[in-house]
Amino acid sequence: MKNGKLWIFGDSYGTFHRSGDELKDWHWMWSLTEKLGHENFYNVCEDGVANEWIYHQLISSSHMINSETDTVIFIATQSDRQWFFTDNEGVGNINMGTSLEKYVTKSQHIAIDHYVRHLTDNPQNSIRFQWLLYGLNFLKEQNNLNLLILPGFESEGFFLNKEFTIKGSLLDPCIKEVKGRSMESWLNWKGRIDGVDPREGHISNCNHPILSEKLFQTIKHKQVLDLTTGFKEEFII
């Protein structure tokens, strides 16, 4: 008997742009929901958002999450992203460069540019990321949530999950699908296709079942979640 929901909070690693009928046979969210025996999943993800926005969505939804039956995945994004505008959450990725101009007003773009030039500080970003992780683990313990913090980018040196061991991040299978297996090769490939990664969750269809099984083994059996190996690689040229 199916029971409970799978909740996914995150950035573009969790968004999808095709209909459920096109995705349900291979996408990791549909597959993982089935593996865990849940009735359905609830997706709260947006492209380009910052961790503060994702955390806010989790807090806002926490009263609807059943700690006895539900599973929660929090996809932690880049620590240097900022939730600049409450009514335009998708422009948190300061690495978008000049393409930001398409999504904000001229004055907003100037403000973000000044922030990037004068106020971005890696130590502060790391501290904010640590605060996020402590906050998530506090929320997990206070509400007895079955919560997995899934790193989208940073993972090394960060305290992510008490009962789960994670190697790498979702960025690993993302860039390793591309010939060259490097950030540079991935960015060059994206540059040739208008700068937007068309893959659902930034991995190809063939790797979704692999990710689903890895997540299932970690959530259900507390096995090590190794995102650095086991995926199909270097088939995108």
Residue 89, pLDDT above cutoff 80? no
Give the residue, 1 or 37, on which the prediction is more confident.
37
Instruction: Output the CA torsion sign for 63, 67, 72, 74.
Output: positive
pLDDT of residue 58: 97
pLDDT digits (tens, 9 = 90+) for 146-195: 999 999 997 655 556 677 788 999 999 999 999 999 999 998 998 888 77
Question: Taking 60 as the threshold, does the pLDDT of residue 132 lie above it?
Answer: yes
Put residue 80 in one of left, alpha, beta given phi > 0 → left and psi -120 to 50 → alpha: alpha
**Whole-number Å distance between alpha carbons of 56 and 113:** 25
| Residue type (1 letter), 111 | A
- What's the mean pLDDT in 37-59? 95
Helix intervals (H) in the chain: 20-23, 28-35, 51-61, 106-118, 122-143, 171-176, 183-192, 208-221
What CATH number matches the domain at 5-80+120-167, 1.10.3720.10, 3.20.20.140, 3.40.50.1110, 3.40.50.1100?
3.40.50.1110
pLDDT in tens, 188-217: 998 888 778 999 999 999 999 999 999 999
